[in-house]
Amino acid sequence: MKAAVFQGTKHIEFKDWEAPAVGSKEVKLRVKCCGICGTDQHIYHGYPGSAEVTAPIVLGHELAGEIVAVGDEVTTLQVGDRVSVDPNIYCGNCYFCRNGKVHLCDNLQAVGVTRDGGMGEYCVVPVANCYLLPDEMSWIEGAMIEPLGCVLHGYKKLDIRKAHQVLIIGGGFIGQLFLQLVKAAGVKGIIVSEPEVFKHDRLVELGADEAVSPAAEGVMEALHHQFDIVIECVGRADSMELAVKASRKGGQVLMFGVASPDTLIQVSPFEIFTKELNIMGSFINPYTHEESIALIEKGIVQIESLISHQFSLKDIPEIMGEYPKLRVSKGIIVHER
């Protein structure tokens, strides 16, 4: 098969790659659509993903496809089924798996991270990681179930009330998903901090009461100590520090953005103490696929209108190197058939 193969830091090749064999409890997919995640960019630039990456490997953990072969022990799915993939594979035996926190598994494996993923024409995944897609759901929506599931996991950590004022820091794809979920909860007010002004009208259309630029004069100070809930979707030191500052007393701060491992922030423990803040992290998406499919199926979350760029598989080596310059809100690979 053809695949975009990660060969090491800042090096991807589009080349012939051995099509994977199918294990007894696995299915083989003809990949139809694969998202390009911020984590893929982290890996490309030499940082770890959700688990350690060993090159050469085919990246791509946001994927949907059509089943073309099934293993001998597979009885729940069949050739021709349309599925979305939850990439995360848990060992079931470590402390965290045995105590209800499988996503923190000490032996975590993941499609597109530790084993070949969706940036190839075909992909083999455990049948347990496949979720049937409704007939009316597009391949793009099917591939985006995974990032929506990650957002949903973070969202469920929050105690959201109707009277709450919410700040979302970052109006890209992830921020737009959070915005739709928070809007559906019927909170009192939502402000999105987003430096790229051309996104502001779209953020208001999706449910924000206001979109503001953090670079505008007086905006940062005006955001301080105002919000019951702050959701950080960027992973930069300045935005994470703003998340703490923007929270009012008794506030909740969700640090969702993926920072580089060497990023450090300056936070006053006294401020955390006197505000009695609840600061949380959120890691991947344990068993959120079915609910995420339902959110799209019911029209609570829009997906396709959030996609800013579509790419072909053969262009991935060039695209991954140029990605920061392309102003991509969300990019996907649409496999040519």
Task: Please give the positions annotated as active site.
Answer: 39, 42
Nearest CA to 166 out of 193, 148, 190, 133 is that of 190
Cis bond upstream, residue 286 (ω within 30): no
How many residues are there in the chain? 337
Burial class of 292 by CB neighbour count within 10 A (0 to 12, 13 to 18, 19+): buried
Q: What is the 3-state secondary structure (H, E, C) of 247-303?
A: EEEEEEEEECCCCCCCCCCCCCHHHHHHHCCEEEECCCCCCCHHHHHHHHHCCCCCC
3 state SS of 179 = helix
Nearest CA to 251 out of 151, 162, 166, 157 is that of 166
Burial class of 293 by CB neighbour count within 10 A (0 to 12, 13 to 18, 19+): buried
